[in-house]
Structure 1
Amino acid sequence: MSYLLNPLNKGKLTLKNRLVMPPMATSKSDKDGKISKSILDYYDEKSKGGYISLIIIEHSFITQQGKVSEGQLSVADDSLIDDLSKLADIIHRNGSKAVMQINHAGSAAKETITGYEAVGPSAVANPRLGNTPKELNQKEIKEIINEFKNAALRVKEAGFDGVEIHSAHGYFLNQFFSPLTNKRTDEYGGDVLGRIKIHLEVINAVRDAVGDNFPILLRLGASDYMDVGSTIEDSKIAAQEFEKAGVDILDVSGGFCGYISPEIAGQGYFSSLSEEIKKVVSIPVILTGGITDVSAAEKLLAENKADLIGVGRAIYKDSEWAEKAIKNLCDN
C-alpha cells in the first residue's frame, strides 16, 4: 500500500494523490507582476504529466504596497485575470490542480521596490531587514483585509482550484501572529486570539468573496523558533480557530523570516509542528521541509505526521522528480 498514491477525497479540494508542489518564488514575472512566458513555461514544465496532484503558485502580491521583490507575481488588479487564467489552464491541461498563494509583505517590503512606506502591526524593526514600519491604524487594517478579499476573488475568476492565504516566513499576517513584531494594545494584539483577529477577518472576507464551495488554504508559520516568538501551542489554538472560520487545508511551515533552529534537520523537518496541528484539527494538513526521497514522504504519511506532502527544492531542481517518484511507487 502506498500512502502517497492514496487520493484525498474529503473536503472541497479532492486530489488524486498526496503530492504537492509548495509555493516557491521564481522572480520570473514581467514588469508590474504580469504573467510572463517564462512563468507559463516554468509551470508547464513542473506540471507535465499531472504527477503532482496540487501545485501552489508562488506568493503573489495583493497590493503594490505589499510587494516584496522585483519579478514577483501580482494579483493586485483586475486587468491581470485573463493572463492568470492562462497559467491555471496550462496546469489543468497537464492534469494537476492549481491554487494561488496571495500575500502582503508588510514590514518585509522595501520602499525602493514599492514606492510606499513599509507598514506593519507595530513600529517594531523587522527582524530580517532592520527597517521600522509605520504602525497601521484600524482603518488601514480594514483596507488591507479588503485587498486580500479582492485578490482572492481574482484567483477564483482566473479559474484556479483554490486560494492560499500566506501567514508564514515573516510576512504581513505572520507579523501580526508573532509576538516579535506585534506589540499592539488594541484588539489586534495581546494574546494569540488577539493576534489572529486579522487572520479571521481575512478568512471571513475571502469566504464572502469566493463563496462556500471554493477551497481556502492557509499557510501558517507554526513556530518562530525564537525567544518570545510564536510557539506551537499558539498555533494549535490558531489552527482550531482557522478551521472554525472556514479554512479547508492548513499548510504548515515555520521559522520567522527564514530563521530555523539549528536543531531542526532531516527530511520533513517541520513534522513535529504538523503532527501537533493534526491533533487538534480535522481538516487536511500539508507538510513541507527538506523532503527529497519518496520513501521519506511515505514514512511521514504512514506515521500520520501530515495528510499531504510538499516537495519543493527537489522538484525545483529536477522537473522529473514527481514522475520518477510516482512510477517507482507504482512499480513496487
Structure 2
Amino acid sequence: MANLLKPLVLKNINLSNRLVMPPMATSASQPDGKVSKEIIDYYDEKSKGGYIGLIVIEHSFITQQGKASDKQLSVADDSCIESLKVLANTIQKNGSKTVMQINHAGNAAKKDVTGMEPVGPSAIANPRSKSGIVPKELSQHEIATIVEEFKNAAIRVKKAGFDGVQIHSAHGYLLNQFYSPLTNKRTDKYGGDTLGRITIHLEIIKAVREAVGPDFNVSLRLGASDYNENGTTIEDSKIAAVEFEKAGVDLLDISGGFSGYNIPGADKQGYFYPLTEALKEVVSIPLILTGGITDSLAAEKLLQDEKTDLIGVGRAILNDSNWAKNAIEGLKK
C-alpha cells in the first residue's frame, strides 16, 4: 500500500489516509464572522468523496482585537457555534475529518479592521507588515485574558462538533510573535530564552487541554523557523516541540514563522522538510509537512523517506477540487 493511503489514528481521530488540506483563508465569512453559504459550499466541494483524510479550517479569530482581516471566520463568541456545527457536519458527512484553527493576529491586526489598537509581546512593528505600526505591549493581565480567550474558543470548537482544535503559532501572528526574538524583547517570564518565549503557548495548551478533556485532539501549527539570522531556528523549535508534546499537544503542523508559508528561493516540493525531519528526531507525536507540494509522487516520496507523517497540500487543492481524488485513485492503481 502506498504510504499516502495508509490510515493513521490521532487519539480520537481515525484518518483514512495521510493527506491534509491545510488552513487557507477564504475571506468569505459573513461580515460578523459567521459561516456563510459560500464557505459551506467551498468546504463541501473540497471534501466530496472523503479523499482528504484531514481538513484544517482556515484561521479563525478568538477575539475582536485579534481579528486579522475583514470576512475572517469567527470563533469569538457562542453565537458562532450553530453555524460552525453546519460546517463541521458538512465535511464529516463527506467522509473527511476536520479540525478548526484558532488564532489571535496580535500586531498583525489593523485598527481599521478591529476598531482597536494592535497589541503584541513588545512594542515592535511586525516585520511582515509594511505599515510600520508599533503595537501596545501586552501586560501580564492582558496575556492571561488572551489565554482564557483561546480556551473559550477551543470549547466552542468542541461544542460545534469538530474532531479537534489547532492553535496557530506561525506566519507572524501573535503566538509566533511571542515565540520569535524578532518581536519578543520582554524581560519578564514571557520573554528571554526559548522556554520563556513559549510560556504563553504552554499556558494556552494547559488551559485548552483542561477545557476540552484528555480525549479531544489538540494540535499546534508551529512556525519552526523565521529564516532570518536574528529569528527563530530549528534549534529553538526542537526545544519548543518537546515541551509542546509534554504539555499535551497531539499533532504538530510545521510551517514558517515570519517567512510565512514560503522560504525565500525554495523550489523543491515539501520545502519545509528539513524542519519536520529534524523535529521527528525529538518528538513522538505525528507531524504535518506542507510547502509547495503539488505532485502525489513527491508526497509519496516524502512519506517513504520518513521526512514527515502527514502531507499538507494547499494550493494544488485550492486550484483543483479533484486533485485529492486523482491523487488517491492514482496511487491505488
Residue of structure 1 equivalent to 2:281: 279
Structure 1 stretches of 4+ moved >4 Å:
none
Identity fraction in percent? 70
- Contact 2:253–2:289 at 8 Å: present in 1 too? yes
Residue of structure 2 equivalent to 1:100: 100
Residue of structure 2 equivalent to 1:23: 23
> Take 1:91 and 1:41, find their aligned partners in 2: how far apart are those partners?
10
TM-score normalized with structure 1 length: 0.98
Larger deviation, residues 5-14 vs 281-290: 5-14
* Counterpart code for 2:32: D
Matched residue of 2:316: which SS?
helix
Matched residue of 1:154: which SS?
helix
> Take 2:290 and 2:261, find their aligned partners in 1: how far apart are those partners?
15
Query: CA 1:10–1:63 in 2, change beyond 3 Å: closer, same or farther?
Result: closer
- The structural deviation recorded for 1:255 is 3.7
* Counterpart code for 1:193: L
Residue of structure 1 equivalent to 2:328: 326
- Contact 1:127–1:257 at 8 Å: present in 2 too? no
- The structural deviation recorded for 1:262 is 2.8
* Counterpart code for 2:223: G
- Contact 2:263–2:271 at 8 Å: present in 1 too? no
Matched residue of 2:301: which SS?
helix
- The structural deviation recorded for 1:93 is 0.7
Larger deviation, residues 4-13 vs 17-26: 4-13
> Take 1:299 and 1:261, find their aligned partners in 2: how far apart are those partners?
21
- The structural deviation recorded for 1:265 is 2.4
TM-score normalized with structure 2 length: 0.98
Matched ranges for 1:122-201 at <5 A = 122-129=122-129, 130-201=132-203
Paired residues, what number? 331
* In the alignment, structure 1 residue 34 sits paired with structure 2 residue 34: yes
- Contact 2:12–2:163 at 8 Å: present in 1 too? no
Residue of structure 1 equivalent to 2:87: 87
Matched ranges for 1:61-76 at <5 A = 61-76=61-76
Q: Deviations over 1:33-79 (max 9, x none)?
A: 01100000000000000000100000000000000100100000101
- Contact 2:103–2:168 at 8 Å: present in 1 too? yes
- The structural deviation recorded for 1:15 is 0.7
- The structural deviation recorded for 1:224 is 0.1
Matched ranges for 1:180-329 at <5 A = 180-256=182-258, 258=260, 260-329=262-331
Matched residue of 1:4: which SS?
helix
> Take 1:321 and 1:151, find their aligned partners in 2: how far apart are those partners?
32
- Contact 1:225–1:260 at 8 Å: present in 2 too? no
Query: CA 1:92–1:308 in 2, change beyond 3 Å: closer, same or farther?
Result: same
- The structural deviation recorded for 1:250 is 0.2
> Take 1:262 and 1:143, find their aligned partners in 2: how far apart are those partners?
36
- The structural deviation recorded for 1:13 is 2.5
Matched ranges for 1:37-52 at <5 A = 37-52=37-52
- The structural deviation recorded for 1:12 is 3.5
Structure 1 gaps, min length 5: none
Matched residue of 1:9: which SS?
strand
- Contact 1:49–1:94 at 8 Å: present in 2 too? yes
- Contact 2:101–2:165 at 8 Å: present in 1 too? yes
> Take 1:179 and 1:260, find their aligned partners in 2: how far apart are those partners?
19
Matched residue of 1:32: which SS?
coil
- Contact 2:241–2:279 at 8 Å: present in 1 too? yes
Q: Deviations over 1:142-201 (max 9, x none)?
A: 000000000000000000000000000000000000000000000000000000000000
Structure 2 gaps, min length 5: none
